[in-house]
Structure 1
Amino acid sequence: MYDSFKNEYQLCEEIGRGRFGIVYRCFSPSSLASFAVKSIDKRHLLDDDLDRQCLDKEPKILQILSPHPNILQIHNIFDSDSRLLIVTDLCKESTLYDRIVSSGPFTEPDACSIFTQLAEALHHCHRNYICHRDIKPDNILFDTRNRVKLCDFGSAEFFGCGGEREKMSGVVGTPYYVAPEVLAGREYNEKVDVWSAGVILYIMLGGVPPFYGDSVEDTFAAVLRGNLRFPTKIFRSVSPEAKDLMRKMLCKDVSRRFSAEQVLRHPWVTSGGLSNTMSDMS
């Protein structure tokens, strides 16, 4: 396997470590382009069925979704009994989470630029009957051209094919970002991703999550209540259009919650975060 890899790429420096392995930069002499390669020792996963399932599922899902400018693309896979090498887009080390922590609240145009790319990625996933199920700032990378790259599809699930949509189940996600219907143990659809993206937008504009508590249990209770507020001290300068979009994404009634396609048609998104056409609904 390594011989096949070395025929196409030159292995360079280590650039990160994740749950499943070590990430290196690699270089392709034929294309003169740099990529990332994740090296996974499969022997470490022998006793963990869930990890093995995630490892098997993620490359398949990414291959279905590729190419898309805002989804991490797999360029090559080298597989053996003991090791798996996955060659992907090369991204910067900092995630959206890192940018939020270092920069604080974003301006609306800056937030809209990132958010629109995330919404485009989700729309592409949902059109292909794939629900990510763990949308959070940590899973939003930026490539060397500063484009958003949605990653980590280990929790993703297929929810249908050929026009037939199926409900999903199972508590999957991350505190702050998980949708209330997931926590409630109900069946759910792909709009759980829209809820999570709405939380990210709220954090980008306000600097704090919309639902939180002093413990994980308190945070989950706040999510289940779903009492969305825009404290004046924090959101005084945030536009009515942005608040309107967040209300329609962070809606407990799933039938009324926006789809990813509807998000992309909202005036705040289509104006690039500069629209002032709507009346103040705050």
Structure 2
Amino acid sequence: MGNGVVRVATRAPTELPTPKTASSSSHTTASDTRSDAQRSNSPPIPVIKTDGYNNKFDPERLSLEDILGEPGSSTALYIKKKMAGRGAFGEAFIVENNPVAPVAKRRGRIGAESLAVNGTERVGDCQSRQFVAKVLNLTCMSDHDRQYAQTEIMCLANADHFAIVRYYEHFYIDDEFQTIVIITEFADKGDLYRNLHHMPSDRFPTEREAGVLFVQLLLGLDHVHRRRMIHRDIKTANIFLTSRGFLKLGDFGFSKQYDTSVSNPIAVTFLGTSYYLSPEMLKGQRYGKKADIWAAGIVLCELLGKRRPFEAHSPAKLKELVLSGDMWLPPTQKSGESNNSAANTDGKASPPCISLEMREFLEYILQLDPDRRPSASQLLKTPLMQHYLHLFKKQVYDMIAADDEVERNYISNPVDCIGDRRRYNLTAKERVLVMRGIVEGENLIMSETEKQIESGIPGHMEGVVFKGTLDGRWKERYLTLADGYLTVTLAKEKCASNCNTRSKRMPLDTIKSVSSMKIFYSPEANSVEKVDCNKKFVFVLSTVHSQSILFATKTEEERDRWLTALMFTLDMG
């Protein structure tokens, strides 16, 4: 299960063991004292009794020094670089893999990171890498805390996505398994909370920066939810960033995996951080993956304004604010206004204005009723998130192009590169994971759109069209017919000028008529965005304001579907 390898000192238990006490029997384990119902909701730590390549090995005695060594160690699997934190149950270190360790041959899962898809090693990809090593003392933990550690390993090992902190392996230390060491991915820019609140007071992430990060969070959340898990503690402190612009969702200790679908409410335990708790959780009701979506909406608001939509000095007041829907959102920009942040009366800088489209997107997420709240896949399908997925994909392609150039330099000038090797933006494995995540997102968007259209929802239609201009040009747009509006959105790769909104909504009651029409395209026309203009199938909308708006599709079938949907919605049949 998962990508990691477990190594043990003398034996491999199937669960986090209960440390012995004076009153406990040496033959009693956690699994002996729990009911079947309890055990079904408490999956064991994944145990792999091989080295990752189905090669059996004999259990070996490993001390903590065998795993984490000081600089210069020739025996430790990992070299400690610095301490990352200390808590009630242990410590966390930034560590580096030790290439001279004698058991390096058993570190196959990490070594495989330097292999390209075809199984050949990429030149220059074998440099040392950094990880996080958590050293936890089980004897200090309650049953609840051991369950927390166990759950995090289980969930991370069950995930294989670029937007989720990667689990590599874990070790039990000592004969009585009193210590566990967990090796995970290292995000070098730290958590999102510290990044936001260590910014200068007048500095805020741009809407573009927030959108590119948030679409990664949605991709990771969809991956989690499709694996029948809910995170239950999404917050900026549990989201990590890298210097390459990637987002990583971590800290799965509160997560839960279920045998049934998480489409329905399934949990009642009150977990998570209060500012991020959904209305159904605050009411003590059963909840599911929509609680994660609510928390993600809080995170997006923080990204845009460095402030949560609901803040209060007491849990009771916070609950009152949430259940009333009385929330703060960043202001929207009015036509002609500057988008610069200004100072409040208290001297603090106000966040910059956001687009109307982003404001409506936030309101779409933060709906009190979980049944009306969208899923991660539905959010990814919105034109706004499709736009940011496209921008993120372009960002990744630029990294890959730069990495390919680095590799070509290694191959063509091997002597010049000795001692001065540039690091890749992405290891070969990371490249595969990121591209797989993007493709999964694109396929999901296509599937969601087709499913919605094929379901025959009256008055709903969406897709790519071409909008005609007065000077004979055709510009690609995304058209959505839903909820009493016809919404025209810029193509995925296009950004609005002067920070204006990317979408314009037309109330359906302003449309007077709709019909097909023939259009004759002049080859001499200055069509900078023409795509088989002679083959487009056109329909025209006439408005109550005496305007005529031309749209075209690539096929006659698409045009007829639009005509049918519009005529049905406008009751023109």
TM-score higher than 0.5: yes
For the pair 1:23 / 2:23, whether they are aligned, the reply is: no
* Paired position in structure 1 for 2:490: none
Asked if structure 1 preserves the Cα contact closer than 8 Å seen for 2:238 and 2:249, the reply is yes
For the pair 1:89 / 2:185, whether they are aligned, the reply is: yes
For the pair 1:62 / 2:131, whether they are aligned, the reply is: no
In structure 1, what is the Cα distance between the partners aligned to 2:178 and 2:186?
Answer: 24
* Paired position in structure 1 for 2:227: 128
* Paired position in structure 2 for 1:267: 383
In structure 2, what is the Cα distance between the partners aligned to 1:236 and 1:93?
Answer: 24
Unaligned runs of 5+ in 2: 1-61, 68-74, 100-110, 112-127, 333-349, 392-494, 496-500, 508-573
In structure 2, what is the Cα distance between the partners aligned to 1:151 and 1:92?
Answer: 14
Asked if structure 2 preserves the Cα contact closer than 8 Å seen for 1:9 and 1:28, the reply is yes
* Paired position in structure 1 for 2:80: 11
**CA deviation after TM superposition for structure 1 residue 159, in Å:** 3.7
**CA deviation after TM superposition for structure 1 residue 271, in Å:** 1.5
Asked if structure 2 preserves the Cα contact closer than 8 Å seen for 1:241 and 1:267, the reply is no
More off after superposition, 13-22 vs 254-263 = 13-22
* Paired position in structure 1 for 2:370: 254
**CA deviation after TM superposition for structure 1 residue 246, in Å:** 0.9
Tell me, what secondary structure is at the counterpart of 2:505? coil
For the pair 1:72 / 2:147, whether they are aligned, the reply is: no
In structure 1, what is the Cα distance between the partners aligned to 2:134 and 2:328?
Answer: 41
Return the match for 1:238 from 354, 366, 373. 354
More off after superposition, 251-260 vs 93-102 = 93-102
Q: Which 4+ runs in 1 deviate beyond 6 A? A: none
Q: 1:1-282 residue pairs with structure 2 within 5 A?
A: 1-2=62-63, 5=67, 7-18=76-87, 20-30=89-99, 31=111, 32-45=128-141, 48-65=142-159, 67-80=160-173, 81-92=177-188, 94-103=190-199, 104-161=203-260, 167-230=266-329, 232=331, 237-272=353-388, 274=495, 276-279=502-505
In structure 1, what is the Cα distance between the partners aligned to 2:367 and 2:262?
Answer: 25
More off after superposition, 250-259 vs 136-145 = 136-145
Asked if structure 2 preserves the Cα contact closer than 8 Å seen for 1:228 and 1:250, the reply is no
Asked if structure 2 preserves the Cα contact closer than 8 Å seen for 1:38 and 1:87, the reply is yes
Q: Measured at CA, do residues 164 and 115 of structure 1 come closer, stay the same or move farther in structure 2, by a change above 3 Å?
A: closer
Q: Measured at CA, do residues 54 and 189 of structure 1 come closer, stay the same or move farther in structure 2, by a change above 3 Å?
A: same
In structure 2, what is the Cα distance between the partners aligned to 1:280 and 1:217?
Answer: 41
Unaligned runs of 5+ in 1: none
**CA deviation after TM superposition for structure 1 residue 207, in Å:** 2.7
Identity, % of aligned pairs?
Answer: 28
Tell me, what secondary structure is at the counterpart of 1:214? coil
In structure 2, what is the Cα distance between the partners aligned to 1:87 and 1:235?
Answer: 38
In the superposition, the TM-score normalised over structure 1's length comes to 0.89
**CA deviation after TM superposition for structure 1 residue 102, in Å:** 2.4
How many positions carry a matched residue from both structures? 278
**CA deviation after TM superposition for structure 1 residue 20, in Å:** 3.6
**CA deviation after TM superposition for structure 1 residue 68, in Å:** 1.0
Tell me, what secondary structure is at the counterpart of 1:176? helix
In structure 1, what is the Cα distance between the partners aligned to 2:185 and 2:239?
Answer: 13
In structure 1, what is the Cα distance between the partners aligned to 2:313 and 2:372?
Answer: 30
In structure 2, what is the Cα distance between the partners aligned to 1:169 and 1:90?
Answer: 32
In the superposition, the TM-score normalised over structure 2's length comes to 0.46
**CA deviation after TM superposition for structure 1 residue 232, in Å:** 4.1
**CA deviation after TM superposition for structure 1 residue 201, in Å:** 0.8
Asked if structure 1 preserves the Cα contact closer than 8 Å seen for 2:266 and 2:288, the reply is yes
In structure 1, what is the Cα distance between the partners aligned to 2:79 and 2:182?
Answer: 14
In structure 1, what is the Cα distance between the partners aligned to 2:275 and 2:262?
Answer: 32
**CA deviation after TM superposition for structure 1 residue 160, in Å:** 3.6
Q: Measured at CA, do residues 162 and 244 of structure 1 come closer, stay the same or move farther in structure 2, by a change above 3 Å?
A: closer
More off after superposition, 151-160 vs 220-229 = 220-229
Which one-letter code corresponds to 1:131 in the other structure?
A: I
Asked if structure 1 preserves the Cα contact closer than 8 Å seen for 2:365 and 2:374, the reply is yes
Asked if structure 1 preserves the Cα contact closer than 8 Å seen for 2:301 and 2:330, the reply is no
More off after superposition, 233-242 vs 250-259 = 233-242
In structure 1, what is the Cα distance between the partners aligned to 2:262 and 2:295?
Answer: 24
Structure with the higher fraction of residues in helix conformation: 1
**CA deviation after TM superposition for structure 1 residue 175, in Å:** 1.9
Asked if structure 2 preserves the Cα contact closer than 8 Å seen for 1:40 and 1:83, the reply is yes
More off after superposition, 220-229 vs 166-175 = 220-229
More off after superposition, 215-224 vs 6-15 = 6-15
Q: Measured at CA, do residues 68 and 203 of structure 1 come closer, stay the same or move farther in structure 2, by a change above 3 Å?
A: same
More off after superposition, 7-16 vs 241-250 = 7-16
Which one-letter code corresponds to 1:29 in the other structure?
A: N
